[in-house]
Amino acid sequence: MLSYEDLQQGLEAAGQTHILQFWSELSEEERGSFLQELSQLDLKGLKDHCEGAQRAAESPPESLDQHIEPVPAGSIGSVRKSDRKGLREWEDEGLLQISQNRVGVLLLAGGQGTRLGVQYPKGMYNVGLPSGKTLYQIQAERIHRVQQLAERRHGSRCTVPWYIMTSEFTLTPTQKFFQENNHFGLKPSDVIMFEQRMIPAVTFEGKVILQGKGKIAMAPDGNGGLYQALVDNAVLEDMKKRGVEYLHVYCVDNILVKMADPVFVGFCVSRGADCGAKVVEKACPAEPVGVVCRVQGVTQVVEYSEIKPETAELREPGGELVFRAGNICNHFFTRSFLQDVAEKFKDQLKQHVALKKVPFVDLCGNQVKPTKPNGIKMEKFVFDVFPFSRNFVAFEVLREDEFSPLKNADGAPSDSPTTARNSLLNQHCRWAVAAGATLTDEQGNNVPASTSVSAGDVPPARCEISPLVSYFGEDLDQMLRGRTLQSPFILDEKKARELQAQ
């Protein structure tokens, strides 16, 4: 731990002496913990960090319109445009790799869920499904099921390890939640949690923000902090030891995420890709999602704010948007590519500016909760490694089957607990009807089989199918054909056994 004098010297060199302005008011204990926190700061890089944040916040986003082009058709696979035989072959390849313990999943779960308005990690959130399951439980059960499908197809027991990147804010509550729920039936040694780095939030004048008299306002370094965290926590070594060659990386908040999706994994492996991204067709030109495209011949994600509306609205002769490959933070990486990034490229990742409302203490030491953005948090994004890929592929999936993020509190028009819940229930209604069941609503009225609903619309019935019973909608015919399902209907393992026995 640094001495007070060393620290004072380092902060002076960085132009950040205000950090110690309340030192005389702190107790011995407070001084000790503050010194410990400050000793972990990169004092040499602090000046650059603060000045860089200030400069970045002042620079308008660069317009990339003249330089962008869509990803070439040859590098894109599609669920929508592929025949059943092709999809089956990819699924077979993916299940083969899973059966050989070569596939892991990695969850990005370092964010605080401020927009959702909860004080705990998003994965612990219950969106109000009939079963009351949280996002973490749904994801754990999908891991169980995909292992089971691979074992059934290839006759060998297998494990899909689950790596979970947390932050200072989310590590302890996540660990506690998994312990209280017996790791949802997964082996604790196959659920590997690790922490990403934290970096100081900075004012628009380039000064580190004090959250308290003896506490700096810190924030996770974005989901692109993954690559440094893999090094800090020896995660790549763990993967190598387990024989994991392929990694499915995703964000915690997508209720429809397919864990270690065998079709996606199989597509990427069969194409010899080192890096891949799932994409969905943009709902409209102005939808605020990044677009996977090429900039001067290099694959990357271009944020919606970096493209002019007239470029976003360009259409092909058939009517499809030219720049339609919406990024959904759902990626494939080979372990050797991640090793390359960790060794050669992680320090070249660009920094992105996020303007945030950061609670602080004013000059008199009073706590202030700002009503408008007052601070800059610098973030790296997980997709910023795409330019380093030697063989990048994109894989287009159906939004209603694979993408419904939980970002906002209820009352927001999109990406809320209600839209996430509805998306999952609508998917399960489609599966039940496809298996030959008749659904009824809460009043007992039959729901027409032809009812067509979009992902976030109110579902025609409350029908929930456990991931432990079905992953893609498979294996339901025998249980559900010819049956009438009274809403709310939950098909869990117990109910599935009863139906199979009848």
Q: How far apart are the first and last CA of the chain?
A: 68
CB contact at 8 A, 80 and 223: no
Q: Has residue 255 got a pLDDT over 60?
A: yes
pLDDT band at 312 (very low <50, low <70, confident <90, very high): very high
Q: Report the amino acid identity of residue 406.
A: L
Indicate whether 44 pLDDT > 90: no
What pLDDT shows up at residue 169?
87
Determine which of 23-37, 51-65, 282-296 has the lowest per-residue pLDDT on average: 51-65
pLDDT at 118 over 90: no
pLDDT at 502: 82
Mean pLDDT of the chain, nearest integer: 93
Of the candidates 382, 409, 414, 379, the one whose C-alpha atom is nearest the C-alpha of residue 399 is 414
For 79, residues 6+ apart whose C-beta sits below 8 A from its C-beta are: 87, 263, 395, 396, 397, 398, 401
CB atoms within 10 A of CB 17: 13
Apex 492 CA angle, 491 and 495, nearest 5: 75
Has residue 112 got a pLDDT over 80? no
Q: Which residue has the higher pLDDT, 141 or 1?
A: 141
State the pLDDT at residue 449. 67
Q: How many residues does the chain have?
A: 502
**Cα(356)–Cα(377) distance, rounded to whole angstroms?**
7
CATH architecture entry for 424-501 = Ribbon (2.10)
Q: Quick one: what percent of the chain has pLDDT higher than 90?
A: 79
155 contacts: CB under 8 Å, gap ≥ 6:
99
The C-alpha atoms of residue 177 and residue 133 are separated, in whole angstroms, by 13
Residues 327, 299: contact at Cβ < 8 Å? no
Distance CA 18, CA 28 (A): 19
Percent of the chain with pLDDT over 70: 98
Going from N- to C-terminal start, the domains of the chain cover 4-58, 65-402, 424-501
pLDDT confidence band for 453 (50 / 70 / 90)? low
Which of 443, 433, 425 minimizes the C-alpha distance to 482?
433
Tokens of 110: 């370092």
The maximal CA–CA distance of the chain, rounded, in angstroms, is 78
Dist CA 48 CA 30 (whole Å): 28
- In this structure, what token pair is assigned to residue 156? 């060998």
User: Rounded CA gap, 350 and 61, in Å?
Assistant: 13
333 has a pLDDT exceeding 80? yes
pLDDT score, position 501: 85
Question: How far, in Å, CA of 205 to CA of 113, rounded?
Answer: 27
Give the residue ranges of DSSP H helices in 59-165.
84-99, 135-154
pLDDT of 146 > 90? The answer is: yes
Q: How confident is the model at residue 450 (pLDDT cuts 50, 70, 90)?
A: low
Higher-pLDDT residue of 112 and 337 is: 337
Please, which pLDDT band fits residue 288 given cuts at 50, 70 and 90? confident
State yes or no: pLDDT of 7 exceeds 80.
Answer: yes
pLDDT at residue 113 tops 80: no
- pLDDT tops 70 at residue 130: yes
pLDDT at 387: 95
Q: What is the pLDDT of residue 307?
A: 87
Q: Say if residues 126 and 243 touch (Cβ distance below 8 Å).
A: no
pLDDT at 454: 58
CATH assignment of 65-402, given 3.60.21.10, 3.40.228.10, 3.40.1190.20, 3.90.550.10? 3.90.550.10
Average pLDDT on 188-199 reads 96
pTM: 0.93
